[in-house]
Amino acid sequence: MSVGVGILRVPKEAKKGEVVKVQMVITHPMTPPRKDPATGQTIPAHNLTKLDLFFNDKLVSTINMGAGISANPFIALTLKVEDSGVVKIVYEDNKGGKWEKTADIKAI
Amino acid sequence: MDRRRFLLASAVAVAGLAVLPAIKPAYATPALEKLEKELQQRLGVQLGQIKEVADIKLTAPTIAESGANVPITVESTIPIEKVEQLWVFVDKNPTPWITDVKFTPMNGQVYFSTRIKMGETSNVRAILKLKDGSYVMATKEVKVTAGGCG
C-alpha cells in the first residue's frame, strides 16, 4: 500500500457562483499509538495531521485531524466557484510526509 | 447562643450548602470528564456553555456495524460568513477529539463529510464556532456493534 496517494474529485465544469462538492480519498493507515501484543513495545502513531484546501492559491479550508479519522480518509467539503481555476489539496502526516494533488474547474 | 448569633450561624451554613453543589458539576461521569478536558483545552469552554441548536444537521447512522468506519456529515443553514470553525467530538473515544475544520466564505456553505472511528456506543458532537464568539452544537447517538479503536 502506497501511503499518501490521493484522489481528488471535483466537477469539470461549474456555473459561476455555484457551490460544488470537493471530494477526496487519501491512502493512509491512520493508526493511533499502540502496544504490540507480542513484544509489548509501543508502535508509534502514523496519521495525517493537517490538510489544506486551496483554490487559485487562496486558502479555503484547513482541516486538522488525528487518528480518530478512519483509515484511508474520505473527506468532502464545498467550494464556491466564482472563476475558473485550480483546486489544490496539500496534506501532511506526523512522520514528515507531505503531498499535494490538483484538479481543474472550468467556470461557465 | 443568643438569637442574633444563631441566625448568623445558620445563614452561613445555608449559604455554604448552596455553594457546595456548584463546585462539582452534576454531569461529571468519567466519560464526559475526558471530553470536558479536551473541550477546555481546544475550545476553552465547558459543555454546559454550548447551546444545542436545530439548524445544524448532523447525519450519522443510528446503528453502525463497524466502529472503524462511521460516515458522518455535518451541514448547516447558518450562513458561511458567520461561521469560523467546526469541531467533531466522540464522547467515549480514547481521544474524544476527531477533527477541526476552519471555514472561509469561499466554502459557500457549511458542509463537511468524513468517516470516523468509534470505540463504543456514544454521542457524536458537531460544534460550530460562530464569528461572534459563541458556540453551537448538534448531537447524535450512534450505536456501535463492533468497536474500531486500536
Residue B5 lies in a domain: no
Specify the pLDDT at position B41: 82
Residues in chain B closer than 8 A to A73 (CB atoms): 114-115
DSSP three-state, residue A15 = coil
Compare B30 and A65 and report the one with higher pLDDT: A65
The class that CATH gives domain A6-32+45-107 is: mainly beta
Question: Is B107 within 8 Å of A64 when comparing Cβ atoms?
Answer: no
Residues in chain A closer than 8 A to B129 (CB atoms): none
Residue B14 lies in a domain: no
Give the burial string for B72-93 (b: 16+ CB within 10 Å, else e): bebbbebebeebebbbbbbbbb
Residue B45 lies in a domain: yes
Pull the grid cell for residue B11: 445563614
Please choose, from the candidates B100, B105, B106, the residue with its C-alpha nearest in 3D space to the C-alpha of residue B128: B100
Compare B11 and A38 and report the one with higher pLDDT: A38
Specify the pLDDT at position A76: 94
Band (B99; pLDDT cuts 50, 70, 90)? very high
The range of the structural domain enclosing residue B110 comes to 27-146
**Residue B116 predicted with pLDDT over 70:** yes
Mean pLDDT of chain B: 82
Question: Is A73 within 8 Å of B149 when comparing Cβ atoms?
Answer: no
| pTM (two decimals) | 0.80
Which residues fall within 8 angstroms of residue B41, CB to CB, at 6 or more apart? none
Compare B30 and B103 and report the one with higher pLDDT: B103
Name the residue with cell 442574633: B4
Residue B13 lies in a domain: no
